[in-house]
């Protein structure tokens, strides 16, 4: 496992306009690759926009990932030798999921992860995922998560328990939630002694506005790179030696107890 340069990308998505959003995603991947990133994370539901109108309408099909609609992303992944993680709703047989696509430099596109913790009205459109997923890239084990997943400490812990050394989170935080957004991902990094890569939707999409804040946190929860609400990419290097040293110095993950026994009231 060697140093891996990663990017958390953010931009404005247009509700229901997949071609426009894929083109924006491709532009951001190109920018990240030009800064040396071998892995790029894009926000939650970025390819359709995070909006009820987009969720209720026709969304990409899980059995059409080889289709031409993803070609702009495939081309940029190949050009930059970059792996892309992008959020989108998917139609899976009879149900919809809020999912993460992985587009590899060789053109392969997979949908290995569906959001497990649905937030608010999402449950009106989607079913939750039934498994975790970890992406292998550059010798790293990179856990996949979507937005609200990161609010549950056990989600990141389950990934760390199976060897993850970084936690990728594609998100869409509404304006006004900046404090919680930043705390959650920093805490997940510190809890488990691993990097956290957070990509947040920004700007207006449908009736809502989103606060961006894409960032990369080191294994002690300190931001290495961070954006505001502008379009762009936050880029940083993940260093395996930093993970090793942090986990040796801060043993919360290793010292975790499966049970604390019964509760005594006095």
Q: What is the predicted pLDDT for the residue at 7?
A: 98
Q: How far apart are CA 67 and CA 126, in angstroms?
A: 23
| Those residues with Cβ within 8 angstroms of residue 98's Cβ, 6 or more apart along the chain or in another chain | 44, 45, 87, 89, 114, 115, 118, 122, 126, 146
Q: How confident is the model at residue 53 (pLDDT cuts 50, 70, 90)?
A: very high
Taking Cα atoms as reference points, which of 87, 82, 162, 85 lies closest to residue 122?
A: 87
Question: Which pLDDT value is given to residue 19?
Answer: 96
Phi, psi at 12, each rounded to 5°: -95, 130
In angstroms, what is the C-alpha Rg of the chain? 18
The CA–CA distances, whole Å, from 220 to 108, 164, 186, 193, 243 equal 34, 15, 8, 6, 9
For residue 94, is pLDDT > 90? no
Report, as an integer, the average pLDDT of 97-106: 97
Complete DSSP assignment for 190-259: HHHT-EEEEEE-EEEETTEEEE---EEE-TTS-EEEE--SSSEEEEEEE-HHHHHHHHHH--TTTT--S-
**Size of the chain, expressed as the number of residues it contains:** 266
CB atoms within 10 A of CB 41: 32
Q: What pLDDT digit, counting tens, does each position of 183-211 carry?
A: 999 999 999 999 999 999 999 998 999 99
CB neighbours (10 Å) of residue 40? 31
**What pLDDT does 216 receive?**
98
DSSP β-bridge partners for residue 103: 84, 109
Who contacts 120 (Cβ-Cβ below 8 Å, separation ≥6)?
A: none
Q: Is the predicted pLDDT of residue 147 greater than 90, yes or no? A: yes
- Per-residue pLDDT reduced to its tens digit, 1-47: 799 999 999 999 999 999 999 999 999 999 999 999 999 999 999 99
Instruction: Give residue for tokens 């306009």.
Output: 17
User: Contact, 38 vs 6, CB < 8 A?
Assistant: yes
The whole-angstrom separation of Cα 196 and Cα 122 is: 24
């Amino acid at each position: 496992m060697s140093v891996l340069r990663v990017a958390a990308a953010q931009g404005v998505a247009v509700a229901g306009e997949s071609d426009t959003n894929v083109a924006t995603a491709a532009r951001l991947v190109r920018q990240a690759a030009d800064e040396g990133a071998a892995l790029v994370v894009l926000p939650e539901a970025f390819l359709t926009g995070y909006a009820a109108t987009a969720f209720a309408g026709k969304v990409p099909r899980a059995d059409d990932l080889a289709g031409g609609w993803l070609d702009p992303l495939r081309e940029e992944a190949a050009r930059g030798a970059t792996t892309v993680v992008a959020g989108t709703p998917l139609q899976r047989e009879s149900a919809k999921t809020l999912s993460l696509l992985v587009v590899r430099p060789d053109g392969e596109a997979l949908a290995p992860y569906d959001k497990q913790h649905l937030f608010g009205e999402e449950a009106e459109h989607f079913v939750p995922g039934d498994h975790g997923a970890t992406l292998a890239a550059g010798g790293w084990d990179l856990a996949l998560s979507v937005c609200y997943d990161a609010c549950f400490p056990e989600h990141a812990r389950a990934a760390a328990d199976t060897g993850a050394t970084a936690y990728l989170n594609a998100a869409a935080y509404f304006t006004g939630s900046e404090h919680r957004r930043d705390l959650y991902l920093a805490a997940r990094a510190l809890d488990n002694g691993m990097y956290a890569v957070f990509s947040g939707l920004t700007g207006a999409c449908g009736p809502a506005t989103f606060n961006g804040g894409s960032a990369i946190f080191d294994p002690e929860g300190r931001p290495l790179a961070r954006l505001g609400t502008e379009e762009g990419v936050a880029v940083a290097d993940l260093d395996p030696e930093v993970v090793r040293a942090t986990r040796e110095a801060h043993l919360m993950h290793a010292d975790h107890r499966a049970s604390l026994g019964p509760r005594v009231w006095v």
